[in-house]
Structure 1
Amino acid sequence: MQSPYIVELNEQNFRQVLEGSMETPVLLHFFASVSQESIDLIPAVQSLTQDYDGALTLALVDCEKQQAIAAQFGIQALPTIALFINGQPVDGLGGPQPIEAIEQMLAKHLPSKEELTIQKALKLIEQGQHTAALPLLDSISEERAAKGDVKLAKADCLLETQQFDLAEALLAHIPLEYQDNYFKGLVAKLELHKQAADSPEIQSLETQLETQPDNVQLACDLAKQYHQVNRDEEALALLWQFLVRDLNALEGELKKTFMDILSALGQGNPIAGKYRRQLYSILY
């Protein structure tokens, strides 16, 4: 398995690999062809290392080729597993082991896979890649997602991807101990959106439509204004009220506006999916 996190340990890279444990924990796996159990375990240990996605380095030690290293560690049983952190051995296992035993050993010293996922998402957010970070945060367990740090990170992603209602719902339930400058910055960003989303132009059109509820042009103009400030669900709901009565209202302009908003939202958007289905139901 080719991976930057998996190396074959030898006398030339021995010191470098162990010194690397000052930055990233190193798991040594001692094996030999005379021990089929130690050979069979290699793919599972490699896969486990890949799951840690850079938070763990695996060093494979062929005891037949690296007898001096095996002797230095006093290897008496195969397979033998040794975990190094900060240049020092902190844990190990000797003799045939199920992969679950190694997972349990690592869990005592390393962040869980879930915490690693959160760390990866936070790094993406720092890099401005909120769209990529959001699915990672969505994959977190419900219990962990209820914690303030994950809620803040997710609210950040929702704001950046213009899912303002969902962001507001999260920010309304942030524990007091997490209401720091990060939290205040997100709230300020939400308030700016709210102010822009309720412009005098929108308020004027809403007032006119209240007095002229059957004015199709007013409805179309208001829907366009809603779309410009990312109030797309309201825009689609408003347009649909008129489209369901007349698909060719305003000589097709209403349907075109409706389709333009659906297109802007993209294929994966649940709101767009809902209104596409409704449109298809009256088209076909």
Structure 2
Amino acid sequence: MQPPYIVDLNEQNFRQVLEGSMSTPVLIHFWAPMSEESVQMIPSLKALTEQYSGAFTLALLNCEEQQAIAGQFGVQTLPTIALFVNGQPVDGLGGPQPLEAITAMLAKHLPSQDELTAQKALELTQQDAHAEALTLFATLSEEYQSKGEIKLARANSLLETNQFDLAEAMLDSIPLEYKDNYYKTLVSKLDLHKQAADSPEIQSLEAALHASPSELKIVAELALQYHQVGRDEEALELLWGHVSRDLNALDGELKKTFMDILSALGQGNPIAGKYRRQLYSLLY
């Protein structure tokens, strides 16, 4: 089943589709079964439209079946592509075209892939889907990732997913002109975490481990405490120091705790990814 932004143009929906260009650009592809080149372009055009996720509508017009509509446009060559914005044709291409030429034409009139991706990521942050937003932010170009508003949004999502070290590094890189009230709110959130992350109980366990570095029960308990306050990299590093030497340390409890933390962090977490690779290299 085709998505709603890919349609077959006919007499019944012709006017409605063109009126739709008042809000969303419409790209009409004039084709016919007798024109092999025009048929061959359809899969690529559909794939390109999917990439834009509804930023424009692809309208496929079979000129053999819809001769009256094709005649209104005076199409002389197949394939022909025409882009409509606000009900009017604004650009077009005639004859077989490489996908790059079509993409370049669209780029003059539509948001870039970075803009679309950033918009989707920002929408996800509004829905508290921060892990998914971070995945999208990571796909942006380096130039786009350097924008202050993007850095602030990523820092917020990092805080919300308890990736505090990465959030702090991101906040440290915010340009001066973006250090507004929102920035200060994120810094305050990070400061509150730091205060909570150094509780008297953690300090007591750290002192006990310093006095007895080989006491594995203290190692396990301190690692869990670190994890509970979002100090996951410290937790994994502490556990790895012992698991890497003996997978069965503390009757396998350290390895289980290590794996539980990795699982809790999820597949997209870069810290978890680092320690997963180290574990796999040890196992295999």
User: Residue 227 of structure 2 aligns to a residue in which SS?
Assistant: helix
1:270 alignment counterpart: 273
C-alpha distance in 1, partners of 2:238/2:95? 69
Q: Counterpart amino acid of 1:58?
A: L
Q: Map of 1:187-202 to 2, 5 A cutoff?
A: 187-202=187-202
1:172 alignment counterpart: 172
User: Is the Cα contact below 8 Å between 1:236 and 1:275 reproduced in 2?
Assistant: no
C-alpha distance in 2, partners of 1:14/1:203? 71
C-alpha distance in 2, partners of 1:229/1:274? 24
Q: Counterpart amino acid of 1:98?
A: P
1:150 alignment counterpart: 150
Compared with structure 1, are the counterparts of its residues 121 and 240 closer, same or farther at alpha carbon in structure 2 (3 Å cutoff)?
closer
User: Is the Cα contact below 8 Å between 1:35 and 1:78 reproduced in 2?
Assistant: yes
1:260 alignment counterpart: 257
Q: Identity over aligned residues, as a percent?
A: 61
The yes-or-no answer on 1:223 pairing with 2:257 is: no
Alpha-carbon distance, 1:67 to partner: 2.0
Q: Counterpart amino acid of 2:231?
A: R
The yes-or-no answer on 1:138 pairing with 2:135 is: no
User: Is the Cα contact below 8 Å between 2:220 and 2:257 reproduced in 1?
Assistant: no
User: Is the Cα contact below 8 Å between 2:240 and 2:258 reproduced in 1?
Assistant: no
C-alpha distance in 2, partners of 1:136/1:158? 13
Q: Counterpart amino acid of 1:123?
A: E
C-alpha distance in 2, partners of 1:238/1:38? 61
Q: Map of 1:55-74 to 2, 5 A cutoff?
A: 55-74=55-74
Q: Counterpart amino acid of 1:260?
A: T
User: Is the Cα contact below 8 Å between 1:236 and 1:258 reproduced in 2?
Assistant: no
2:205 alignment counterpart: 205
Q: Number of residue pairs matched?
A: 278
Compared with structure 1, are the counterparts of its residues 244 and 52 closer, same or farther at alpha carbon in structure 2 (3 Å cutoff)?
closer
User: Is the Cα contact below 8 Å between 2:133 and 2:157 reproduced in 1?
Assistant: yes
Unmatched 5+ stretches in structure 2: none
1:33 alignment counterpart: 33
User: Residue 96 of structure 2 aligns to a residue in which SS?
Assistant: coil
Alpha-carbon distance, 1:233 to partner: 2.5
User: Is the Cα contact below 8 Å between 1:131 and 1:157 reproduced in 2?
Assistant: yes
Between 48-57 and 1-10, the greater mean CA deviation after superposition: 1-10
C-alpha distance in 1, partners of 2:43/2:235? 53
Q: Counterpart amino acid of 1:226?
A: Y
Alpha-carbon distance, 1:216 to partner: 4.8
Compared with structure 1, are the counterparts of its residues 85 and 177 closer, same or farther at alpha carbon in structure 2 (3 Å cutoff)?
farther
User: Is the Cα contact below 8 Å between 1:30 and 1:61 reproduced in 2?
Assistant: yes
1:118 alignment counterpart: 118
Alpha-carbon distance, 1:57 to partner: 0.7
* 1:122-180 per-position Cα deviation (integer Å, ceiling 9, x unaligned): 12211111111222211222232222222222222222221111111011001122223
* 1:205-235 per-position Cα deviation (integer Å, ceiling 9, x unaligned): 3344445555555444433322221212222
Compute the TM-score of the two structures, normalised by the length of structure 2: 0.85
Compute the TM-score of the two structures, normalised by the length of structure 1: 0.85
C-alpha distance in 2, partners of 1:38/1:277? 49
User: Residue 33 of structure 1 aligns to a residue in which SS?
Assistant: coil
The yes-or-no answer on 1:161 pairing with 2:158 is: no
Q: Counterpart amino acid of 1:21?
A: S
Unmatched 5+ stretches in structure 1: none
C-alpha distance in 2, partners of 1:99/1:248? 56
1:238 alignment counterpart: 238
User: Residue 29 of structure 1 aligns to a residue in which SS?
Assistant: strand
User: Residue 122 of structure 2 aligns to a residue in which SS?
Assistant: helix
Between 160-169 and 202-211, the greater mean CA deviation after superposition: 202-211
> What is the Cα-based RMSD across aligned positions, in Å?
2.7
Compared with structure 1, are the counterparts of its residues 185 and 18 closer, same or farther at alpha carbon in structure 2 (3 Å cutoff)?
farther
C-alpha distance in 2, partners of 1:8/1:72? 17
Between 209-218 and 155-164, the greater mean CA deviation after superposition: 209-218
